[in-house]
Amino acid sequence: MLPTGGMTGKSLVKVDGCAVCDDLWEEYARVTKECLKILGNQEIAALQHDHPGFEKLDAQYQDCDRRRDALRLAITAHSQEAHPPHLTQKP
Protein backbone atom coordinates (compact mmCIF):
# COMPACT_ATOMS: atom_id res chain seq x y z
CA MET A 1 0.00 0.00 0.00
CA LEU A 2 1.48 3.33 -1.05
CA PRO A 3 0.08 6.52 0.51
CA THR A 4 0.31 9.58 -1.64
CA GLY A 5 -0.51 13.18 -0.84
CA GLY A 6 -3.20 14.82 -2.90
CA MET A 7 -3.75 18.52 -3.37
CA THR A 8 -6.65 18.31 -0.93
CA GLY A 9 -4.27 17.29 1.85
CA LYS A 10 -5.92 13.87 2.13
CA SER A 11 -3.91 10.71 1.65
CA LEU A 12 -4.79 8.66 -1.39
CA VAL A 13 -3.95 4.97 -1.30
CA LYS A 14 -2.62 2.68 -4.01
CA VAL A 15 -2.58 -0.99 -3.06
CA ASP A 16 0.05 -3.07 -4.84
CA GLY A 17 -1.51 -5.83 -6.92
CA CYS A 18 -4.94 -4.18 -7.23
CA ALA A 19 -5.82 -3.89 -10.93
CA VAL A 20 -8.43 -1.17 -10.27
CA CYS A 21 -5.89 0.91 -8.31
CA ASP A 22 -3.36 0.45 -11.11
CA ASP A 23 -5.86 1.55 -13.77
CA LEU A 24 -7.07 4.57 -11.79
CA TRP A 25 -3.54 5.74 -10.97
CA GLU A 26 -2.37 5.21 -14.57
CA GLU A 27 -5.23 7.36 -15.85
CA TYR A 28 -4.59 9.95 -13.12
CA ALA A 29 -0.93 10.16 -14.18
CA ARG A 30 -1.90 10.49 -17.85
CA VAL A 31 -4.40 13.28 -17.16
CA THR A 32 -1.93 15.08 -14.86
CA LYS A 33 0.68 15.04 -17.64
CA GLU A 34 -1.94 16.38 -20.03
CA CYS A 35 -2.73 19.22 -17.60
CA LEU A 36 0.96 20.08 -17.28
CA LYS A 37 1.38 20.12 -21.06
CA ILE A 38 -1.56 22.50 -21.39
CA LEU A 39 -0.09 24.78 -18.72
CA GLY A 40 3.22 24.84 -20.60
CA ASN A 41 1.42 25.75 -23.81
CA GLN A 42 -0.50 28.46 -21.95
CA GLU A 43 2.81 29.92 -20.81
CA ILE A 44 4.00 30.04 -24.42
CA ALA A 45 0.73 31.65 -25.55
CA ALA A 46 1.04 34.27 -22.79
CA LEU A 47 4.63 35.08 -23.75
CA GLN A 48 3.55 35.46 -27.38
CA HIS A 49 0.57 37.65 -26.37
CA ASP A 50 -1.73 35.12 -28.05
CA HIS A 51 -4.91 35.92 -26.12
CA PRO A 52 -7.30 33.76 -28.20
CA GLY A 53 -4.88 30.84 -27.96
CA PHE A 54 -4.51 31.37 -24.22
CA GLU A 55 -8.31 31.39 -23.76
CA LYS A 56 -8.68 28.20 -25.80
CA LEU A 57 -5.99 26.52 -23.71
CA ASP A 58 -7.62 27.78 -20.52
CA ALA A 59 -10.87 26.03 -21.48
CA GLN A 60 -8.89 22.86 -22.22
CA TYR A 61 -7.13 23.11 -18.87
CA GLN A 62 -10.40 23.57 -16.98
CA ASP A 63 -11.78 20.41 -18.61
CA CYS A 64 -8.58 18.52 -17.87
CA ASP A 65 -8.56 19.69 -14.25
CA ARG A 66 -12.19 18.55 -13.82
CA ARG A 67 -11.22 15.09 -15.12
CA ARG A 68 -8.28 15.00 -12.71
CA ASP A 69 -10.55 15.96 -9.80
CA ALA A 70 -13.02 13.23 -10.82
CA LEU A 71 -10.19 10.71 -10.84
CA ARG A 72 -9.08 11.81 -7.37
CA LEU A 73 -12.63 11.21 -6.15
CA ALA A 74 -12.72 7.82 -7.88
CA ILE A 75 -9.41 6.83 -6.29
CA THR A 76 -10.65 7.90 -2.87
CA ALA A 77 -13.98 6.09 -3.28
CA HIS A 78 -12.27 2.91 -4.49
CA SER A 79 -9.76 3.04 -1.62
CA GLN A 80 -12.51 3.44 0.97
CA GLU A 81 -14.69 0.70 -0.51
CA ALA A 82 -12.11 -1.89 -1.55
CA HIS A 83 -9.23 -1.15 0.84
CA PRO A 84 -10.56 0.14 4.17
CA PRO A 85 -7.78 1.06 6.62
CA HIS A 86 -8.55 -1.85 8.95
CA LEU A 87 -7.86 -4.26 6.06
CA THR A 88 -4.74 -2.59 4.66
CA GLN A 89 -2.83 -1.48 7.75
CA LYS A 90 0.03 -3.68 8.86
CA PRO A 91 0.15 -4.69 12.55
Secondary structure letter of residue 14 according to DSSP:
E
How confident is the model at residue 38, as a pLDDT?
97
Say which amino acid occupies 66: R
Please say whether the beta carbons of 6 and 88 come within 8 A.
no
Q: Determine if the pTM surpasses 0.85.
A: no
Q: Would you list the domain boundaries of the chain?
A: 2-88
pLDDT score of 2: 37
Nearest to 7 by CA among 89, 77, 62, 65: 65
pLDDT in tens, the chain (91 residues): 434 444 444 566 677 788 999 999 999 999 999 999 999 999 999 999 999 999 999 999 999 999 999 999 999 999 888 887 755 555 4
pLDDT at residue 16 in the model? 79
DSSP 8-state class, residue 9: S
